[in-house]
Structure 1
Amino acid sequence: MALIGNLRHRPVRRLTQLYVGLALYGIGMALMIHSDLGLNPWDVFHQGLAKLTGLSFGTVTIALGALVLLLWIPLRQRPGLGTVSNVVVIGLVVDATLALLPAGGPLGVRIALLVTGILAIAAATGLYLGAQLGPGPRDGLMTGIVARRPGWSIRLVRTVIEVTVLALGWLLGGTVGWGTVAFALAIGPLAQLFIPLFAVPEPGDAAPATGAVAPATPAC
């Protein structure tokens, strides 16, 4: 029931937002990867693991998402349809998009890919979170830890998790660059813009809430 309970209210819009958002997130990830100018912390880790194992980026994303989801069990977190879909859809879309993108490109094109990727990820975050069908496995891990450790802030847990995966990914050969910094600086304000814009009002709400907190690493 946890997976489908929210679908009783505006199911068509919620499902459309969810899957458009997840697909757009995967496209944004692929654009950032193709720019070769730096990735967000979790994707640095995904890329490092892909290089280590020889698996595709999307396969690693799916496998690690499923592993992180298992960590929800001791934290007593309950996944939604969006959570399970997140694990599968983003990985499939990122691999498909990478296969379609042409190789190489001048610096100006790569910068455009990076900027477009960050904007796509921010908009995708607003779409899939606005559907209110469950957070991504990595965001749920963060909020689950905070819920079980009341003295720990979201900022602290987010920082520890992201610094850890960033360092591990860099050691494994993931791409860290000024694009990583650009993502870190831009994603919070951009997500804060898009999340209330796409929020589906609950029955009886006059308008979507405008105080949503940006996720740790959106959609993942």
Structure 2
Amino acid sequence: MIGTKAAPALRVRVPGGRFIEQVVRCLFGLMLFGFGISMIIEAELGAAPWDVFHTGVSEITGVSVGNVVILTGLALLLVWIPLRERPGLGTLLNATVIGVVVDITLPLIPDTSLIVTRSLLMLGGVTVIAVGSGFYIGAGLGPGPRDGLMTGLAKRSIGGRQISVRASRTAVELLVLCVGIALGGSVGIGTAVFVFSIGPLVQVFLPRLTMRLA
């Protein structure tokens, strides 16, 4: 659910015996991520590409946004099989926790018609998602289902030329965005803000929140 500009890959090295800390940091990051999604959706200025898809499916099916997030994540794990990607504990937590948090927090955010408040809510949501990404990715327990899909595609080649991570991420998110728009998902200025700002923000927070050897 991260934008087109991915942060540079970091080699996460976590000492043995810090597994509990890894899990706590991962869960905290995923809860922040889910809350950030709720903030952006409630701002009604346009969601992130994957959340345009999630809200579109929710509108069509009547299933809650959080449950759509969960079902989409679990379905993407099936796509990992032919891509030969290996999920970690963080992958499974990502597929379930974020959706639960969205369903819990979305009704708690008060409605507002003030454009200033909605703009702050949207910008705050993007920042919260970036911080959450730093915590859960930096915990080193495995990528999220959507991230793994893109890295898996990046290991493939077309016409003898390997697909770059940037190309696979861009292609997948544009496809998901188009499908979401067709389904009536929420798209707007917030979508563009997310796409162009999430990469730089994650690049700022991820190195600072990644667990490393002392």
In the other structure, the counterpart of 1:141 is: 149
Say whether residues 1:200 and 2:200 are aligned partners.
Answer: no
Q: 2:188 pairs with 157, 174, 177, which one?
A: 177
Instruction: Return the alpha-carbon distance in structure 2 between the equivalents of residues 105 and 18 of structure 1.
Output: 34
Q: Deviations over 1:67-98 (max 9, x none)?
A: 00110011111100000000110000001001
- Structure 1 equivalent of residue 9 of structure 2: none
Which amino acid in structure 1 is aligned with residue 190 of structure 2?
A: G
> Quick check: 1:160 aligned with 2:171?
yes
Paired residues for 1:31-180 under 5 Å: 31-149=39-157, 151-180=162-191
* Whole-Å separation in 1 of the counterparts to 2:17 and 2:208: 18
Percent identity of paired positions between Structure 1 and Structure 2? 47
Structure 2: 5+ residue stretches without partners: 1-13
- Determine the C-alpha separation between the residues in 2 that align with 1:94 and 1:195: 22
- Partner of 1:147, secondary structure, is coil
| Residues in 1 aligned to 2:124 and 2:113: alpha-carbon distance in whole angstroms | 15
Deviation at 1:148, TM superposition (A): 3.0
**Which whole-Å deviations, capped at 9, do the CAs of 1:12-31 have from their partners, x for residues lacking one?**
32111100000000000000
CA distance in 2, matches of 1:136, 1:69: 9
So what's the TM-score if we normalise by structure 1?
Answer: 0.87
Say which of 10, 13, 20 aligns to 1:12.
20
Q: Which moved more, 1:11-20 or 1:58-67?
A: 11-20
Give, in angstroms, the shift of residue 9 of structure 1: 4.1
TM-score (norm 2): 0.89
Moved over 3 A (4+): 6-9
Q: Number of aligned pairs?
A: 198
97-106 or 83-92, which deviates more: 97-106
Structure of greater relative contact order (alpha carbons < 8 Å, 6+ residues apart): 2
State the Cα distance separating 1:7 from its structure 2 match: 8.4
Q: Deviations over 1:152-178 (max 9, x none)?
A: 111111111011000110111111111
Shift of 1:197: 0.4
- Would the aligned equivalents of 1:7 and 1:14 in 2 still touch at CA under 8 Å? no
What is the root-mean-square deviation of aligned Cα atoms in Å? 1.4
Q: Is the contact between residue 39 and residue 177 of structure 1 (CA under 8 Å) also seen in structure 2?
A: yes
Query: What SS class does the counterpart of residue 71 from structure 1 fall into?
Result: helix
